[in-house]
A = this chain, B = another copy of it.
Amino acid sequence: MENDEERRKPGRPRDATVDDAIMDAVVDLLTEFGFRGLTIDAVAHRAGVGKATIYRRWSSKEALVLDAWMACYPVEAVPDTGSLTGDLIAHSRQFRDAVTTGVFGRVLPQMVAAARVNEDLAEVFRRLVAERRARVRVALDRAVERGELSAGVDLELVQDLLIGPLFYRTLMSGEPSSDELIAEVVAIVLAGVLSTAG
């Protein structure tokens, strides 16, 4: 068996306040200059920290930014509105807002690009996606239980159908996704799923 507490390493322990200072600095600089304009030197200076201290904790600029960026993701539970349509609309709006506004939305494309190149990031990235989908899954499972969806429906595909268009509009065509549009998407997808499954 392991030690009661895992064995304390010798030497001075890491200063936890430093992590926060670094994270804050990254978010600040990300807001101000974006991903491309962010430099490790600037982070170190803004956080009042040596560069080595940063590299001791993160292996690269991408990993550092990913951490700070994920902390900006607004993790909200998918609300239980009573109807599947209501739940999905609520969540779609959350997603749209997260992807459109603030630091998170601003940096998203860069992180997608970085994840394509770096497998470590890709892994973390996949976890972020999976975590969000699991929360939506809860609402879908609820709907199955209520009989709003038949058991044979591919619930993962439903998520792709709902989120995909919003994601695409934001990144590719650059057009906004209004509340009305979201409602329409939800309506069409649910109608399609129901009539197809039957």
Interface residues in A96-119 by Cβ distance below 8 A to B read: 106, 109-110, 112-113, 115-117
Which residue in B109, B117, B167, B191 is a CB contact (below 8 Å) of A192? B191
> Does any Cβ of B come within 8 Å of A184's Cβ?
yes
Given contacts A112-B109, A112-B113, A196-B191, are A157 and B129 in contact (CB under 8 A)?
no
How many identical chains are in the complex? 4
User: In the complex the two chains form, is B196's CB within 8 Å of A187's CB?
Assistant: yes
User: In the complex the two chains form, is A169's CB within 8 Å of B161's CB?
Assistant: no
User: In the complex the two chains form, is A161's CB within 8 Å of B157's CB?
Assistant: no
Pick from A13-21, A23-31, A134-142, A171-179 the stretch touching chain B. Answer: A171-179
User: In the complex the two chains form, is B185's CB within 8 Å of A188's CB?
Assistant: no
Query: CA of A120 to CA of B66 in the docked complex: distance in angstroms?
Result: 26
> Does any Cβ of B come within 8 Å of A45's Cβ?
no
- A64 — which chain B residues lie within 8 A by C-beta? none
> Does any Cβ of B come within 8 Å of A190's Cβ?
yes
User: In the complex the two chains form, is A191's CB within 8 Å of B191's CB?
Assistant: yes
User: In the complex the two chains form, is A160's CB within 8 Å of B171's CB?
Assistant: no
Known: A106-B116, A189-B192. 14 other contacts (CB 8 A): A34-B117, A35-B113, A36-B117, A109-B109, A109-B113, A112-B171, A125-B174, A133-B173, A157-B165, A161-B164, A164-B167, A188-B192, A192-B193, A195-B195
